[in-house]
Structure 1
Amino acid sequence: MVTVLIISIIIVLLVLIVSLKVTNKAYQYKHTIDPPAEDLNHSKHERKTDA
């Protein structure tokens, strides 16, 4: 019974450590946004004014 408890605690600790590492790495990732394409926005504006 003690062996099962020790193995369970080890597994929980391993999962906790991996989760913290992955979360920390995800927060460090810098997201970038592509600038809007001027041609697409301009053509949409022209279509609205033509109607």
Structure 2
Amino acid sequence: MYTILVVSVIIIIVVLLLAVITTSKAYKFKHTVDPLDDNPYLQNENHPDTENKQ
């Protein structure tokens, strides 16, 4: 009975340690954002949906 308890506690500690390591590496990752001038999804003010609306 104690063997099962010890093995399960070791598994829990390993899983928790891996989760903490993975999360800390994810927070260290540097995200970048493209400048607005290079964004192909932005349209000019002459967009057909916005013309002639009053």
With the length of structure 2 as denominator, give the TM-score of the two structures.
0.72
- Residue number among 41, 44, 47 corresponding to 2:43 in the alignment: 41
Identity %: 38
Runs of 5+ unmatched residues, structure 2:
none
Larger RCO (CA under 8 A, 6+ residues apart): 2
Residues 38/30 of structure 1: CA separation in 2 closer, same or farther (3 Å cut):
closer
5+ long unaligned stretches in structure 1: none
Matches of 1:34 and 1:12, distance apart in 2: 41
Cα-Cα RMSD: 1.9
1:34–1:5 Cα change, 3 Å: same
How far has the Cα of 1:35 moved from its partner? 1.6
